[in-house]
Amino acid sequence: MKILVCISHVPDTTSKINFTEGDTKFDTNGVQFVINPNDEFGLTRAMWFKEKQGASVDVVNVGGVETEPTLRKALAIGADNAIRVNTEATDGFYVSKQLAKIVQDGGYDLVIAGRESIDYNGGMVPGMLATLIGANFVNTCIGLEVEGDTATAIREIDGGKETSTAKLPLVIGGQKGLVEESDLRIPNMRGIMMARKKPLTVVEPVETTPETKVVKFEKPAPKGEVTLVSPDNVGQLVELLHNEAKAI
């Protein structure tokens, strides 16, 4: 089985978010970048398929040269090859078109992407990619097994979960649950050394027009002070929630 894991290069979850150039660009100053958490759960699951079922695992990112350390980290975790599509990831559709080309050229059976990146939260790429290449698709995937050419996937639904089966090729939008948080791997020295020698192929983008563009960023309005209620007067909280906040 040939697996492709799509990796987004995103600000660490603890990052303070700021913008520059008249609020039109994300300010990367002082920001630590990581593998998108939703992708990392998928990458770790892919390692399981590699170790237990002999799958090959490639990783891909659509982005500039600055994203290569993130791809190297994925190689250090255990991916075999990395591919970088050398272009700015402008919108979900544009990225999906780039990935579609990579999947078709590489003949992948299973594509594991995160359900969304934690920066733009678009949640578009897995479903768009699947539709563009005519593959099956399961979103918000929290469990995945493959036997022969058939996958069994568990999807998180509002208030529960749903199990389905589908033939490969399959694209999933993955998230926490594919593996446990405690299963995530920190690259060891050997992995890091090996990652330096693994192939990282740079390919040029296919021509595509994005369908959306970000005009401007805004930060939420600053919040007012908290109203403190004494622990000896809990009834006041009920009153405030009813009369002032109108929340109950």
Partner 1 sequence: MSVLVYTESEGGKFKKTAFEVASYAKEVANMLSTTVTAVSVNVDDSSELGKYGVDKVLEIKNDKLSNFNAKAYADSLKQAAEKEGAKVVVVSSSADSKFLASMLAVHLNAGYASNVVSLPESASPFTVKRSAFTNKAFNITEITTDIKLIGLSNNAFGLKEASGAAAAEGFEPSLSDEDFTVNVTSVDKATDKVSIADAEVVVSGGRGLKGPENWGMIEELADVLGAATACSKPVSDMGWRPHGEHVGQTGKPVATNLYIAIGISGAIQHLAGINSSKVKVVINNDPEAPFFKAADYGIVGDAFEVVPQLIEKLKEFKANNA
Q: Which residues between 67 and 126 bind partner 1 (CB under 8 A)?
A: 91-93, 96, 118-126
Q: CA-to-CA distance for 185 and 195, rounded, in angstroms? A: 14
* Backbone phi and psi for residue 203, each to the nearest 5 degrees, phi listed first: -120, 150
Q: Which is nearer to partner 1, 147 or 204 (CB)?
A: 147
Q: According to the binding rule CB under 8 A, does residue 206 interact with partner 1?
A: no
| Residues contacting partner 1: total by CB under 8 A | 81
Query: From CA 189, how far away is CA 21, in angstroms rounded?
Result: 39
- Interface residue with partner 1 among 9, 11, 78, 195 (CB under 8 A) is 11
Q: Which 32-71 positions form the footprint of partner 1 (CB under 8 A)?
A: 37-38
Chain residues 136-175 in contact with partner 1, contact rule CB under 8 A = 136-140, 142, 152, 155-167, 175
> 63 vs 177, which CB is nearer to partner 1?
177
Residue 175: CB minimum distance to partner 1, A? 8
Shortest approach of partner 1 to residue 192 CB, angstroms?
24
Q: What is the 3-state secondary structure (H, E, C) of 101-142?
A: HHHHHHCCCEEEEECCCCCCCCCCHHHHHHHHHCCEEEEEEE
DSSP class per residue in 61-111: EES-GGGHHHHHHHHHHT-SEEEEE-S----HHHHHHHHHHHHHHHT-SEE
Residue 121 Cβ vs partner 1, minimum distance, rounded to whole Å: 6
